[in-house]
Amino acid sequence: MGEDDAMYTVLLPTYNERENLPIIVWLLVKYFTDAKVEFEIIVIDDGSPDGTLEAAEQLQRIYGEERIVLRPRAKKLGLGTAYIHGLKHARGQFIIIMDADLSHHPKFIPRMIALQQKDNLDIVTGTRYSGDGGVSGWDLRRKLISRGANYLTQVLLQPGASDVTGSFRLYRRDVLRRLVDSCVSKGYVFQMEMIVRATRLGYRIGEVPISFVDRVYGESKLGGSEIVNFTKGLLYLFATT
Amino acid sequence: MTMLMRWLFLAAVILGPWMAVLTNRYQSPWVDQNRHTLLLYPFALIAAFGVYSVCVIAWRVYSFNDCQEAADELQKA
């Protein structure tokens, strides 16, 4: 199968992204069109009360049902099941997962595609920690906790990627399906588990430095319970992989 | 083999001889002479690893890229 004709599916789980969704779709369409690749965007909305689904339907009228596919769900059911749900009707040979809140910029997708083709990779993951990857809007405390946790993860798990909790990735479709079926964790520990299991299974993984722009203002995403959950997840993976 | 098992194996390799020295199972003039040092070496390893880790993490926090242009780019979108 000629990889030049490969199609790319973007899985976009959304919750209350009525304002960001048109922007991210516009950006995705722009970068995919410039890269001259076939693509589709599957929006998996978990019953957002702010009307995200209506916004998605409008976008579908603008860009067409071939490009914007809607797979809504009744309520918030978690990321792993969102991927499974989206995968069921995905037409692409490659699946891109990313956040819909504009913390991930679609401009990095062509770089992921290029790297995947160049090295025949199974997974390309965006990294904030190496190359010219980075973050915006993080204070010292958050940087310290993030780097500390990542270092601990590297030492204990040897995960095969510099950024294990990142959720901006490109997967070969069968690889994603196999990994999602074998992972049981939730949230960002789920992302960790995916990449660790991928390394254990011998999949070829590459990295593209990305910039992560924190869009969630005034919300502490690294509070006590987050740290506890991370530690539990880390220990779980330590003992089972 | 899981990572846990790998680490347990590593611990056994390091602590096995150490335990032998501690409990006087292994007799030799060299061991008796250097007993003090030998008993301290796992702690020295841990301390060295601790210092190394602090240095690595401090460096990585210091050199963590701040992508101001990325934030500006997003404002325009």
| Segment A122-144, tens digit of pLDDT | 999 999 999 999 998 888 998 99
Residues of B in contact with A143 (CB under 8 A): 61, 64
Q: Cα–Cα distance between B43 and A211 in angstroms, integer? A: 40
The confidence band for A39, taking pLDDT boundaries of 50, 70 and 90, is very high
What ipTM score was computed for the predicted complex, to two decimals? 0.85
Residue of B4, B61, B64 with shortest CB distance to A134: B64
pLDDT over 70 at B77, yes or no: no
pLDDT over 80 at A80, yes or no: yes
Helical (H) or strand (E) element with A86: helix A79-87
pLDDT over 60 at A153, yes or no: yes
pLDDT, residue A1, reads 46
Residues of A in contact with B57 (CB under 8 A): 144, 147-148, 151
Q: Phi/psi zone of residue A35: left (φ > 0), alpha (ψ -120 to 50 degrees), beta?
A: alpha
Q: Yes or no: say if A172 and A198 are a contact pair by the CB < 8 Å rule.
A: no
Q: List, in order, residues 6 or more apart from A33 with CB less than 8 Å away.
A: none
Q: List, in order, residues 6 or more apart from A196 with CB less than 8 Å away.
A: A157, A159, A160, A164, A237, A241
- The nearest CA of chain A is from the CA of B22 a distance in Å of 28
Q: Cα–Cα distance between A117 and A114 in angstroms, integer? A: 5
pLDDT, residue B70, reads 75
Q: How many beta carbons lie within 10 A of that of residue A118, not counting itself?
A: 9
Residue of A27, A136, A156 with shortest CB distance to B70: A136
pLDDT over 60 at B27, yes or no: yes
Inspect the interface and report whether the beta carbons of B67 and A158 lie closer than 8 Å. Answer: no
Average pLDDT over residues B17-38: 84
The whole-chain average pLDDT of chain A stands at 91
Residue of B2, B64, B71 with shortest CB distance to A213: B71
Distances B64 to A125, A193, B59 between C-alpha atoms, Å: 18, 24, 8
Q: Which long-range contacts (CB under 8 A, 24 or more apart) does A54-63 make?
A: A54/A18, A55/A17, A55/A18, A55/A21, A55/A22, A56/A14, A56/A21, A58/A22, A59/A21, A59/A22, A59/A25, A63/A25, A63/A29
Give the residue extent of every domain in chain B. Answer: 3-76
Residues of B (35-54) whose Cβ lies below 8 Å from A:
53
Residues of B in contact with A237 (CB under 8 A): 3
Q: For residue range A214-238, list pLDDT tens digits in order.
A: 765 445 556 788 889 889 999 999 9
- Kindly provide the residue ranges of all beta strands, DSSP E only, lying in chain A, ordered along the sequence: 7-14, 38-45, 68-70, 94-97, 123-127, 134-136, 169-172, 205-209, 211-213
The confidence band for B25, taking pLDDT boundaries of 50, 70 and 90, is confident
Residues of B in contact with A102 (CB under 8 A): 74, 77
pLDDT, residue A59, reads 95
Residue of A102, A135, A241 with shortest CB distance to B67: A135
